[in-house]
Structure 1
Amino acid sequence: MRTTELPTAADQRRLPVPALLALATAVFITALTETLPAGVLPAMSADLGVSESAAGQSVTIYAIGTAATAIPLTAATAGWPRKRLLLSAMAGFAAANTVTAVSTSYPLTMAARFVAGVAAGLAWALLAGYARRLAPVPLQGKAIAIAMTGAPLALSLGVPAGTFLGKLLGWWVAFLIMTVLAVGVIAWIAAAVPDHPGQGRAERTPVLRALAVPGVVPVLFTTFVFVLAHTVLYTYIAPFLDRLGMGGSTDAVLLAFGIASLVGIWFTGAHIHRRLRTLTVASTLLVAAAAGVLAVTAGSPLLVHVAAVLWGLGWGGIPTLLQTAVGDAGAEHADAAQAMLVTLWNAAMASGGVVGGLLLDRFGSDTFPWTVLALMVPVLAVVTAARRHGFPAERATR
């Protein structure tokens, strides 16, 4: 007969770091799989025999796959053990990236990217909640922050490294390396991450019922508008910098953004348990300040880099803040609320690409900072108003 040991007081003060780092690697794979085509687009389009804009739709189809399937798949797999579900998502990435690497057919590549987006829908809806369950309540914010570190690492280090390898060895090599990473993290998760049961039938509720829980809607609104604003500028940062005469500095600006994002997520992880509301307001103001600087920069390289740092500091902690907020607000419906957040996050990314493209074609890249600044106004209003539910002044400690 097997007995279960009760956690000691020391256990309640410790984080399961190996397990959380495995989840962070899974986040890294998820985020890098989404953004990697942007770094290898010319060579990828040439080998597939399509234009760069057509090859760029490999990012859009990924976001569509995530947005279209996150809610229904989360509902359909609610009863699955969490570990098996996460392993299935990582296996999906391994398969999709392998097909992307070896495919010479544009339709097949797009199908593989859609499958990768479906895997991402499962992973994003699962990872924050998984990290949360691995930690005692006072350390849950830090646990999510550690797991989410994979996202800014993918943007700041993964994409430049993938671009370099793509130029050196071929774009398809970068995707094969992603397959190797996925296989490695499957083994890591299997060895180091504890399992958690899915929901029994009696515990399950329709996904959309989480919308009726106070605080969920403000967090979801903030998610959509914040990510929309960020994506409009991030997706088209190259033409924006080119207009300023800084087209050759795109890598340096994004590196400054990425390093500042890491600082932002570290600071968020250290203070989120007591300061979730304050940090969300501060992140909104930092991104607004960055947009303001870019709007009046007049091509000053120093001011552009300052703006990139402010932008990264504000953006770095946002995934952790919003996923923690929706998890707190959703409570018993946390997985359903996370699925809706993932859906809106990816819908905002797809919308940001479309909106940014329309703005670029019709009005020019000068409009990007002003658009971001305008979108931050309703975000700040909603976060400020959601004092009791959504972004409370104090988080529950138990």
Structure 2
Amino acid sequence: MPLALLALAVAAFGIGTTEFVMMGLLPNVADDLGVTVPTAGHLVSAYAIGVVVGAPLLAAVGVRVPRRRMLIALMGLFTVGNLASALAPDYGTLLAGRVLAGLPHGAFFGVGAVVAARLVREGRQARAVATMFLGLTVANIVGVPGGTALGQQLGWRATFLVVTVIGLAAMAALAALVPHLPPERRDPADAVAGGVGAELRREVRALGNRQVLLGLLTAVFGFAGVFALYSYLASMVTEVTGMAESSVTVVLALFGVGMTLGALAAGPLTDRALRPTLYGALAALALVLVAFRLTVHVPWAAMATVVVIGAVGFMTTTPLQMLVMEKARNAPTLAAASNHSAFNLANAGGAWAGGTAIAAGWGWTSPALVGAGLAVVGLAIAVTAGVLDRGGARRSRVVARGARADANTTDRADAGAGAR
């Protein structure tokens, strides 16, 4: 694998750390800034809002920027957002810093996925994209627990200062290791006719592709199943499993281990069979979420199931990323970036759905069943998309055969006329 993928993984590590570490630092931030923990919780939502807004916006703005320069610029914005968070004098400024840090998240992964796929030969693109995502999964094993522990010992600002340093290191790695890559090739006639405006319209039109929209919907519902459970995992293992609060960090790290295993498996499986990998991951996610409602009562079984949930949940990300890139082949960047907006909508929607079930009095384990239901909805959308895709491909083949038959008939007729 090219060394440039290492630079992308380092950047993904920093992004993953800053996205999830706030969940472990909420009590510290609340105490320091004089707000309640629920109010501090809006800092998690602020980052997600930044992702949802920034992903399509920044990806569209950068359609003609060379890919390495675009990646460095996005990491620069990410670094500034984390530095602003570390130095924030009050809650409002920290809220703004979190939105700023989230803005480049989706666009970076969208551009990064396209770059990763261009760095390797045909048939290994999914493995390259999965390698970049490894940085995100390792962040949940090392970055989030380490950042939480650092923030508890030295203050939450220290955590964001370290993430700022990681951002600077990622920018240096991107500059040194990623080769110069121009924006994706366009139709020369379109480029002359419309310039940047035409390219923006092409990127936006790609989002209107039925298969792209169905892929984004699959991400919203399918991945929401993961976050319906993950958002309340700490409470489940303390309230239901009976584990000590100090063990929560270990459980979250095990979830990260599962994510890493899922990313490692998803690459080669997606290269071999994209849609079956997606179907299998979503079906397995639904089943293991149902199983968790039983295993959560036994500590060792609960921890083992958490690893599996992380694995099958994250196995959906690579095929979904490759699917939208493939179906938006002429304008993949905006579609790939929008996929991360979909993942963050899944984050927010899953957390809301799981919390609603708990608030309704269905019990601490109810988010597992809610998550299973969401995964089934995602699977149904994915299967529907696959059936429609096969039908469209079949019709295209029929039309192509008809066109060839007409051409052959015309050629024979012309030949007969010539003989006469």
Alignment of 1:209-228 (within 5 A): 209-228=205-224
- One-letter amino acid of the structure 1 residue matched with residue 20 of structure 2: T
Kindly tell me: are residues 227 and 391 of structure 1, through their superposed partners in 2, closer, same or farther at Cα, counting changes over 3 Å?
farther
The 8 Å contact of residues 87 and 189 in structure 1, kept in 2 or not, is answered as yes
- One-letter amino acid of the structure 1 residue matched with residue 339 of structure 2: L
Higher Cα Rg, which structure: 2
Alignment of 1:241-390 (within 5 A): 241-248=237-244, 249-297=247-295, 299-363=297-361, 364-387=363-386
Kindly tell me: are residues 309 and 25 of structure 1, through their superposed partners in 2, closer, same or farther at Cα, counting changes over 3 Å?
same
Alignment of 1:90-169 (within 5 A): 90-169=75-154
The 8 Å contact of residues 354 and 366 in structure 2, kept in 1 or not, is answered as no
- 1:53 alignment counterpart: 38
Matched, 1:233 2:229: yes
Give me the TM-score of the superposition, normalised by structure 1: 0.89
CA distance in 2, matches of 1:370, 1:187: 44
Kindly provide the CA deviation profile for residues 79-129 of structure 1, in whole angstroms up to 9, marking residues without a partner as x.
111111111111112111112112231111011111011121321322211
380-389 or 370-379, which deviates more: 380-389
- 2:161 alignment counterpart: 176
- One-letter amino acid of the structure 1 residue matched with residue 255 of structure 2: F
**TM-aligned CA deviation for residue 388 of structure 1:** 5.8
The 8 Å contact of residues 71 and 207 in structure 1, kept in 2 or not, is answered as no
**TM-aligned CA deviation for residue 255 of structure 1:** 2.5
- One-letter amino acid of the structure 2 residue matched with residue 368 of structure 1: P
**TM-aligned CA deviation for residue 160 of structure 1:** 0.6
Kindly provide the CA deviation profile for residues 47-81 of structure 1, in whole angstroms up to 9, marking residues without a partner as x.
11111111121110011111123222222221111
Give me the TM-score of the superposition, normalised by structure 2: 0.84
CA distance in 2, matches of 1:123, 1:252: 29
**TM-aligned CA deviation for residue 270 of structure 1:** 2.7
- 1:8 alignment counterpart: none
**TM-aligned CA deviation for residue 151 of structure 1:** 1.2
88-97 or 311-320, which deviates more: 311-320
What secondary structure is seen at the aligned counterpart in 2 of 1:296?
helix
**Tell me, which stretches of 5 or more residues in structure 2 are unaligned?**
185-190, 394-420
The 8 Å contact of residues 58 and 104 in structure 2, kept in 1 or not, is answered as no
Kindly tell me: are residues 354 and 327 of structure 1, through their superposed partners in 2, closer, same or farther at Cα, counting changes over 3 Å?
same
- 2:60 alignment counterpart: 75
CA distance in 1, matches of 2:312, 2:164: 31
CA distance in 2, matches of 1:262, 1:72: 29
**TM-aligned CA deviation for residue 278 of structure 1:** 2.3
Kindly tell me: are residues 214 and 225 of structure 1, through their superposed partners in 2, closer, same or farther at Cα, counting changes over 3 Å?
same
Kindly provide the CA deviation profile for residues 213-272 of structure 1, in whole angstroms up to 9, marking residues without a partner as x.
352122111100012111111111112222314342323322322212211211222332
**TM-aligned CA deviation for residue 342 of structure 1:** 2.0
CA distance in 2, matches of 1:290, 1:124: 28
- One-letter amino acid of the structure 2 residue matched with residue 367 of structure 1: S
What secondary structure is seen at the aligned counterpart in 2 of 1:138?
coil
The 8 Å contact of residues 229 and 371 in structure 1, kept in 2 or not, is answered as yes
- One-letter amino acid of the structure 2 residue matched with residue 292 of structure 1: V
Kindly tell me: are residues 98 and 193 of structure 1, through their superposed partners in 2, closer, same or farther at Cα, counting changes over 3 Å?
same
**Tell me, which stretches of 5 or more residues in structure 1 are unaligned?**
1-14
The 8 Å contact of residues 240 and 364 in structure 2, kept in 1 or not, is answered as no
CA distance in 2, matches of 1:289, 1:84: 43
- One-letter amino acid of the structure 2 residue matched with residue 365 of structure 1: W
Kindly tell me: are residues 98 and 203 of structure 1, through their superposed partners in 2, closer, same or farther at Cα, counting changes over 3 Å?
closer
Aligned-pair identity in percent equals 31
**TM-aligned CA deviation for residue 365 of structure 1:** 2.1
Kindly provide the CA deviation profile for residues 323-369 of structure 1, in whole angstroms up to 9, marking residues without a partner as x.
11111111112112113212222222222233333222222323111
The 8 Å contact of residues 328 and 334 in structure 1, kept in 2 or not, is answered as yes
CA distance in 1, matches of 2:130, 2:25: 29
Matched, 1:186 2:171: yes
The 8 Å contact of residues 227 and 371 in structure 2, kept in 1 or not, is answered as no
CA distance in 2, matches of 1:37, 1:309: 22
- 1:7 alignment counterpart: none
330-339 or 55-64, which deviates more: 330-339
CA distance in 2, matches of 1:245, 1:138: 44
For these two proteins, the number of residue pairs brought into alignment is: 378
Kindly tell me: are residues 172 and 390 of structure 1, through their superposed partners in 2, closer, same or farther at Cα, counting changes over 3 Å?
farther
